[in-house]
Amino acid sequence: MPKLLDASLAAFAEWPSRYGFRIVAELDSARGSSVSLVKDCIVVRVVCDWLEGEMSVSLRAVGGLEIPLEEVVDLDESHGLSMVRMKRGISRGMLEARLGQIADLLEKQASELLDCRSA
C-alpha cells in the first residue's frame, strides 16, 4: 500500500464514521503522492512532494475554490507541525504523526467544515 495512503488511513481512521469521508488515493509516484478525503460537500486534499520535501493540504467546498490549510486553521496551534523539510525517506509513522496533527487542528478549529451537509 502506498505510504501516504497508509498513513492517511491511520491518521484519519475515525473520519469515515464520524464525518462520512471516504479516503481516496489519487497519485503515487517517486516524485509525489496525493490522497483526498472526499465527502459530498467538501474535499480535503493532501499532496506530498517527496523530492522537494513538502506537504500541502487544501480544502474545497462544492463549487468553491481550493483553500490552503493555513488559511483555515492556525498552524501555530500545533507545535512542531512542519509542512516543509520532510526527508525524502520519511517514514509512514512520521507521515501519520503529521497527518494526525492536521486532523486534530481541523477538528478543533474547523469542525463546522467537516460536519457540512450537502444541500
Tell whether 96 is covered by a domain. yes
Q: Give the model's pLDDT for residue 118.
A: 54
Kindly indicate the confidence band of residue 83, based on its pLDDT and cuts at 50, 70 and 90. Answer: confident
Host domain of residue 70: 3-114
Structurally, how many domains does the chain consist of? 1
In a domain, 119, yes or no: no
Distance CA 70, CA 58 (A): 8
pLDDT tens per residue, range 13-63:
999 999 999 999 998 888 899 999 999 999 999 999 999 999 999 999 988
Q: From the CB of residue 71, how many other CB atoms can be counted at a distance below 10 Å?
A: 8
| pLDDT of 75 | 86
